[in-house]
Amino acid sequence: MRETFVATTTALLDEDPRTAVVLADISSDAFADAHRRHPDRVLNVGIREQLMAGVAGGLALTGLRPYLHSYAPFLIDRAYEQIKLDLGHQDVGAVLVSIGASYDASAEGYTHQSPGDVGLLDTLEGWTVHVPGHPDEVPPLLRAAARNDDRVYVRLSAQHNARAYERTYRLQVVRRGWAGAPVVLAVGPMLDPVLAATRGLDVTVAYTMTPRPFDGAGLRELVSREVIVVEPYLAGTSSRLVAAALSDVPHRELHLGVGRAEQRRYGTPADHAHWHGLDPAGLRTSIVTFLD
């Protein structure tokens, strides 16, 4: 996904004079050629993520469309106040593109992990959040973001599904159970683990790569009694939105994702998925226990 982001954004720099890229050292080598062609629109502020957000706010005020990029904890957690003020309070837009996801960079330690990034943006107004599940889903999201001035977050991951799906804000049904069957909603790269975990179970599996704005109407059309939400970030991040969408529908909810207990060890991304119960075996245990 990271390479796809670089290629797509480099093409946008060549095609669209509004596009700008602001970096904080991460991936600067990948944009070296683009910087030589567009030195006024490819800016590397060094290891100063707060400044990166502030510069983006200034560029947006001049009419440019800035794309910001770094690891999720540097881009969102560290620069949160500047995102809140220099983008949100000024009511200007930018496209924030992260890598690392919740624990892709597990070998780098907890400094490079951000399971709470989407939850942080949920405290602010007007953010669209994309969580693509396949590299081929990334270019349409980035190109669509270039055509507006909204505040957009694109959360890239090294984990991905076997196939790409159409870009849409609506929930997509991937596997349909019997009428009234429990619904399992998978976000982004959690779809393939969910499909493996629910093999042989009579459930409806739905997918979204755009959890914000949340498709509450689409969820209402699917859910009759039980809904299970599987997100690749902090468990329960979407619980308030699910509850609001189903406020007048008697139902039960289960929210699965990265646990709140910090893992004070390194390991691989697969290890972390196992520790958080997000591998197929862990998901199946949680889902079957809930449904039984």
Report pLDDT digits (tens) over 214-251. 999 999 999 999 999 999 999 999 999 999 999 999 99
**pLDDT value at position 216?**
97
Q: What is the mean pLDDT of residues 21-44?
A: 97
For residue 200, the surrounding DSSP H or E stretch is none
**Which residues are within 8 A (CB) of 292 and not within 5 positions of it... i.e. 6 or more apart?**
none
Task: For the chain, give percent helix, strand, coil, nearest 5.
Answer: 40, 20, 40
Report pLDDT digits (tens) over 91-146. 999 999 999 999 999 999 999 999 999 999 999 999 999 999 999 999 999 999 99
Q: How confident is the model at residue 64 (pLDDT cuts 50, 70, 90)?
A: very high
**pLDDT value at position 237?**
98
pTM of the complete model: 0.97
Residues paired with 184 in a beta bridge: 205, 228
**pLDDT value at position 124?**
98
Q: How confident is the model at residue 83 (pLDDT cuts 50, 70, 90)?
A: very high
CA angle 258, 192, 273 (to 5 degrees): 30
The pLDDT > 70 percentage for the chain reads 100
Report pLDDT digits (tens) over 149-186. 999 999 999 999 999 999 999 999 999 999 999 999 99
